[in-house]
Structure formats: C-alpha cells, structure tokens
C-alpha cells in the first residue's frame, strides 16, 4: 500500500504554509484526483542516469509505494472510472533541482482498445496524454478566469509535424492558447512507445496493448514571449521538502474506444468514442484546481529499498493496490 507517513504534513502544507504564500487554497480533495490522495514526486538521485526512452529500467531507485495508480484519477465528466480490464494507468513521478530543475514522469497505460486515428497530436478522439504544470500556481492565485499554465500534448501514431508532442501556454481562460517552441530539446526530452509495435500506426487496434510515456521537462516559471531561452528557470529546490510549497501539475488521459463505443463519428468520420480522465479534482473548470504534489528529497522517502524496475514488473506494480 501507499506510504502515508507524510500525508499529514502534506495536508498541513495545503492548509497552512501554502495559504501564507498564495491566496486561500482549495482543499486537497478539490485539487487531487478522485479521492483527494496526497501526490508525491521523489528526488532523482542522478540526472545523468535517467534516459527518456520509454523503458522503466532507469527507475530502479524509485520507491514503488509512491506509484500513482488509477484510483487517484477521476473522469472529467464525473462518470465511473474504468475497470482495470478497460484501462489501467500507473505512473512514477520524480524531480531534480540544482542546475537541472526538471520534472520526470514514467507512465504506463494498459488499454483494451488502442485508437490512433488521425495525424494531429491533439486528436481528442483517440488515445493521447495532456500534461500541464503551473509552477507559480497562477491559476489558484489569480482565480478561475486566469488559466495561466504550460501544457504539452503527446500521442502515439504517425503524426504530422510537430511529431508526437506539442507545447502550448495560455493566458486568460477562454482565449485561444498560444502554441510555441517548448517541445524540443533541451526543454523537453520525451518518448512515446507502444507495445505491440505494430499497433503504433493502427487507426484501431482491438487486441489491446500498452502505451508508455516517459519525459523530463525543464521547469520554467512561465514562458517569456521571447521563448524558453529567455525565460526564468523555476528553482525546484526552493519549493521541495515535506514542508515546501510543492508543485502544481495535472494529467489528462484521453482513452479512445473505437467506433463501437456508442458515441458515433464526427463529420469527418473520426471516432468520437473516448473518455477523459484526470488527476485534478472535481472543481477543475479553471486551472486554479491543478493537482498538488509534494517534492520529497532524498532521505524523505525510502530510497534504495526498491528493487530494479523493468517493464516486465509493471503488472505486479499496477495490481499492488486493490
């Protein structure tokens, strides 16, 4: 089971220290997923040892008790979350401060139907991942009308440029987001991988499969109009620790279900069968309700107690919480 030795500290953080730094914060249950679980990112021991290749063998240092499981997601439309036979997402999250200041994620999504139709990374009607972070918590500080965030869209399949990842940042919610150059090295290092490989470019794959998303993002305070190189790098060390301000983030996972889902097709013939799952809470209409994660330093989690993690072990990890 998940270790909760720091859950009390995280709760006090949101109720106390964070409210001193920001404005009146939403309750944890309104920020974090379906059950209000505390979320944690673990400090990466060695940045140089991390390879964003879609394989989990460089996460052997990670304490698997902090795995983010499907129980900590919710459906954006408040529909029941899927059974594990339909969709099961397991996620490791890490961070590194100092001169690195990066956010690391390894995500495995086991799905009974893979939908990769279309050539746009922002397909919305098939399998894809949307990732967002808001280091300064602009959304919470400025209220539901602000929407100040930085977001990435990632999808498998043979897509048009930008291939498989795109970045956008927003100003006032309701206005069009700005697409910009934050989707290339050195700002983001990423891989999207599908098993079996032959499902990568299939519009519809009904035999089931697994999609792996692995990425690290250098965290900027907010993207300057002149681009990432002109932007301030966010100092992760300054908000780390069990009593630190932490890190606002969010995941959205679009789960395509194919033409037999009952949703029908759009005007272009694309499948509309999809469900949208997220880690942020039910009052999430504005970006002020991004999830909150505590950044645990080495020594604040049981580093070294985990065995080496390989892709073949994920079946055991994902079934560890029932």
Go through the domains of the chain in sequence order and give each one's CATH number.
7-318 (2.60.40.1190)
What is the model's pLDDT at position 61? 95
Distance from C-alpha of 267 to C-alpha of 262, rounded to nearest angstrom: 16
Distance from C-alpha of 255 to C-alpha of 141, rounded to nearest angstrom: 31
Token code pair at residue 22: 């920001």
What single DSSP character describes residue 280?
B
pLDDT in tens, the chain (322 residues): 344 333 333 333 333 333 333 445 677 777 888 777 899 999 999 999 999 999 999 999 999 999 999 989 988 877 777 788 889 999 999 999 999 999 999 999 999 999 998 888 888 878 999 999 988 887 666 554 455 678 899 999 999 877 899 888 765 555 555 666 676 667 899 999 999 999 999 989 999 999 999 999 999 988 777 778 888 999 999 999 999 999 999 999 999 887 766 666 666 555 566 778 999 887 655 566 789 999 999 999 985 545 545 544 445 454 544 4
Q: What is the model's pTM?
A: 0.84
Token code pair at residue 184: 């290339």
Q: Please name which of 113, 89, 108 lies closest in space to residue 192, comparing C-alpha atoms.
A: 108
Contacts of 183 (CB under 8 A, 6+ apart): 152, 162, 165, 166, 167
Distance from C-alpha of 239 to C-alpha of 138, rounded to nearest angstrom: 15
- Going from the C-alpha of 123 to that of each of 137, 198, 204, 256, 274, the distances in angstroms are 28, 20, 14, 10, 11
């Amino acid at each position: 089971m998940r270790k909760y030795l720091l859950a009390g500290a995280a709760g006090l953080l949101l109720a106390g220290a964070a409210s001193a730094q920001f404005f009146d914060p939403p309750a944890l249950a309104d920020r974090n997923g379906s059950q209000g679980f505390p979320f944690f990112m673990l400090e990466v021991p060695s940045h140089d040892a991390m390879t964003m290749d879609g394989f989990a063998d460089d996460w052997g240092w990670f304490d698997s008790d902090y795995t983010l499981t499907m129980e900590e997601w919710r459906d954006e439309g408040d529909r029941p979350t899927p059974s594990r036979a339909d969709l099961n997402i397991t996620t490791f999250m890490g961070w590194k401060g100092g001169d690195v200041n990066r956010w690391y994620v390894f995500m495995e999504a086991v799905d009974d139907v893979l939908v990769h139709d279309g050539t746009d990374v922002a397909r919305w009607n098939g399998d894809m991942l949307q990732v967002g972070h808001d280091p300064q918590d602009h959304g919470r500080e400025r209220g539901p009308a602000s929407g100040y965030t930085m977001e990435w869209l990632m999808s498998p399949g043979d897509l048009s440029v930008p291939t498989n990842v795109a970045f956008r940042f927003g100003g006032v919610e309701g206005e069009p987001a700005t697409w910009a150059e934050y989707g290339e090295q050195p700002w983001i290092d990423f891989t999207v991988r599908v098993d079996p490989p032959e499902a990568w470019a299939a519009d519809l794959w009904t035999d089931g499969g697994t999609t792996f998303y692995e990425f690290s993002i250098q965290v900027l305070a907010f993207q300057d109009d002149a681009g990432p190189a002109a932007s301030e790098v966010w100092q992760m060390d300054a908000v780390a620790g069990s009593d630190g301000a932490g890190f606002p983030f969010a995941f959205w996972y679009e789960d395509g279900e194919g033409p037999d889902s009952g949703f029908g097709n759009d005007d272009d013939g694309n499948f509309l069968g999809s469900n949208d799952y997220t880690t942020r809470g039910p009052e999430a209409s504005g970006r002020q309700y991004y999830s909150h994660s505590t950044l645990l330093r080495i020594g604040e989690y049981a580093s070294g107690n985990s065995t080496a993690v390989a892709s073949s072990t994920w079946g055991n990890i994902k079934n560890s919480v029932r």
